[in-house]
Chain A
Amino acid sequence: MSDAAHAHDDHGHHAHPTGIMRWLTTTNHKDIGSLYLWFSLIMLFTAGSMALLIRSELFEPGMQLMHPDFFNQLTTMHGLIMIFGVIMPAFTGFANWQVPLMIGAPDMAFPRMNNWSFWLLPVAGIMLLGSFWLPGGAVAGGWTMYPPLFIQGGVSYDLTILAVHIMGLSSIMGSINIITTILNMRAPGLTLMKMPMFVWTWLITAYLLIATMPVLAGAVTMLLTDRNFGTHFFNAAGGGDPVMFQHIFWFFGHPEVYILILPAFGIVSQIIPTFARKPLFGYASMVYATGSIAILSFIVWAHHMFAVGMPVSAQLFFMFSTMLIAVPTGVKVFNWVATMWKGSMTFETPMLFAIAFVCLFTIGGFSGLVLAMAPVDIQLQDTYYVVAHFHYVLVSGALFSIFAGIYFWLPKWTGHMYNETLGKVHFWLSVIGMNIVFFPMHFLGLAGMPRRIPDYALQFTEFNQIATVGAFIFGFSQLIFLVLVLKTIKGGAKASDRVWEGAQGLEWTVPSPAPYHTFETAPVVK
């Protein structure tokens, strides 16, 4: 970063703080982007270790390693951290690094708020993880925080609710920053319909966040007052209704699902055209598809709760509206395939992850359609089929797109090419490991194995053992990724400014590594 420091001094600002203060007080979008991504990687290993503990317990039927309550704590925290501590911060990290570079802006719109957005996250992370050491242990009521369990638990439940508040605040501030940056700071000539797809998907994601995160904050506030201040929003003993929590939660929760995947669509839409050496097929339809998915995501929430009971007319409404989302999503998949069609494709690691994303995310999308059918869902509710479904969309979907994005932009960020052989080993181990973990879970679910239970019937043993072996392959292959990233930061072949032969866009016009300050005078887009 010494180059960056020079560049900074050249512009006559006062000197940087150094050491820890440099990172605590930084308002630079690249620094903050890196902080988000490192935080996300640390949390990935934390929550991933929890997943390996879960899979170890499930290697054999019966109780082996842990108390059932600790198992419940692990499943709950694994979910909460993977969603709020890994996927969302990683995407925000990408947004911080890439949005200003892609639209030709010198920084984010509100750099100080940006600093706050990030530094709230470790606070929330410490509160979540620290609750393992409190009396009663961490929260064990499931990441969806349903009452009555979440009204009855101990002090760690209050702490978790507070952590959700803080993470929500961080997301809202981050989103306000991203929207303001995109709407106000684009380079002259860069109209909305010329923006890179990644910027488009993040613009829409940020709107989703601003619309739904406050609703989640409201829901957990009601939990908090039910617990501590004698209100009865969800407490049936006082005339409240626990089912109402599920409605409010999923009103946030379903758009949240798209918050976790739309930026992934954006990243993949940058990578596939680059390595197919063709412009993105159907750019405008991609934009409209993203918008349609965002709007539809607000009217489908109750498909998460078919089994709690609702009138048939409501079941039909939520079933058909859910299926309708498959249309814009299908538009996207076909557009990616059409972009690759007759392209001069090469298969560097980012492209491999992007192609794996298209294939495996589609599997997850289809199992989602199966679950969208109300009569089928009542059978499959809370089985491993659901676990298989959402891991296909979140691991081979969101997480793989994050890997793809890191491989794609790491040379621009560090100035060094990563080790392609190591990258390919990481890819193949990940993609094989991931399928060994999660594919058998479809069959376990269809056979009736319930989720969130530390023990199971004997007939499920073999498939659980396969899944556990896959989990360890997948988990430990992520260490290769860590080594690769560290090696790339330290050194490696010099990356050119363009990095990739087929790369298009403003971020490839700045030097590699990207200087600390870029686009201080706005570039002009023709």
Chain B
Amino acid sequence: MGGTTDTAPGTGRILRVAGPLVEAGEVGGTAMHDLVALGPDGLPGEIVGIRDSVVTVQAYEYTGGLAPGMPVRPLGRPLSAPLGPGLLGGIHDGLLRPLSAAGDWLVPGALDGHADGERVAREFVPLVEEGETVEPGAVLGEIRGVGPLTLRVLVPPGCAGPVRGLVPPGRHDEDAVLATVADTPVRMTGQWPVRTPRPVRARLDTVRPLHTGQRVIDLLFPVALGSTVAVPGGFGTGKTVLLQQIAKWCDADVIVYVGCGERGNEMADLIEEFGALTDPRTGGRLVERTVIVANTSNMPMMAREASIHTGITVAEYFRDMGLDVVVIADSTSRWAEALREFASRTGALPAEEGYPAGLASAVAAFYERAGAVTTLGGHSGSVTVIGAVSPPGGDMAEPVTAHTQRFVRCLWTLDRDLAYARHYPAVSWAGSFSRDAGTLTAGHAAGDDPELPARRARVAGLLAEAGRLADLVDLLGITALPDQERVSVLGGRLVREGLLQQSALSEQDAYSAPEKTAALAEAVLAVVDRCRELVASGVPAARVEEIDFSPVLRAREEAGPHDAETVERLRATMLDRLREVP
């Protein structure tokens, strides 16, 4: 170390090292957000500040041993993600370097130099003619045989003109040049700077729902394709399990899962499970339409900061092909902490709790990259962002949680009391919202399930009523309530246990199709109605409370994911039983 000299043009010298913060002088030809190679091992870093002739760099690897005087080489390009068919099924670090190429331990520099590693040839079918004039976003051709999806190769933004040098149909290398448009080579795997949103023709109003297969969400707090969701929850509230359930079962085309500063064992589990799971939609393996970005909590912190941006850039790449993509970021709080740590090291003035003043705008900018769009090529695609938030001490007023709530369209708050009572998913009906519910409801009313809005309103109403009464019951005891209100309390319990609870471990019920969700909700509501009639006809509420409701409570476990018939059969059994009561 130290003795290495590097005299390439523009090479500067390190002046200061404090953890991931590096300052360097005399670096030539630099611009904000350009990459540099630090020290004799060329550790990657990004320029985040330039003052006089001193550049501030955030390093993406452990900087132990890095010393003033060591060389800093400008790379002359911003942090970019390689976007190509090889991403699917792969597991990458925060800079989108494939982790499978590295060894058991991630020593600094282990992930570099892979570029000339294994390359896979892919089947390419051109869809334009040689010499044809194309616009940005036009489809040059398709890549086939990459899992269940047909991928498109597009003319890059800002590129228009006649197609030259188009390759013939057949297998081509993953980073082969497939054609040249206006002197710009178009590769199967292109590069895009991760901090720049990919351009689109227009943003669309979102009206198509994303089915998650989780009843509490699809029924009460639905999310539209292209929307944004925050999932705040303290530790032990089942945040990661819920997000993994959505990743497994939702009806998007591509899932981008960003494990940002989370547990290594959990990522290992996810990788193993996704590799083994059969895709419910295509029959292939789930991992074939999944991109995993894994930056566990002990991996270099600033790569964690980058991972959020690389994840969403990957999503935009698939969106531009006309696909619906879901980005799951677990957890955005760890990303915000990386911003805070770095701001603190640069000596930036802190705003709330040490976070930089730009936190709110950074959060907003991230969520604004979601959306349903018409792509440059005229296709419609979407990026839906679901971001976990980990509020310290469960404090929902802390800066990251508070700011995130302002910028998202849906909030699924996970409640510690529900989780401790083993009620999963622990989505709080009182503390959550969906601003998409209105537009989606309008769509449903005209569409295949005209009853949905009324059903949602009744279930929500029952939960609210039961919640209000629960406080009274705690004070006065259930016997102090009028009979009809006792039925409301009972109804709340039936909704919670028979409808909203859903076990991620259950073979039958981990996923619930819209028809099963509808049948269960109707069953519970019909049973509650019948109980009200009983009480109205003079049966004491205490007598109704003692009825064995197990048919309607067991229905969710006994019926398979699409099995509305079993639910209806059990509902009939239950209603018969109630008929015998008076």
Q: Do the two shown chains form a genuine complex with each other?
A: no
Spell out A's residues near B (CB within 8 Å): none
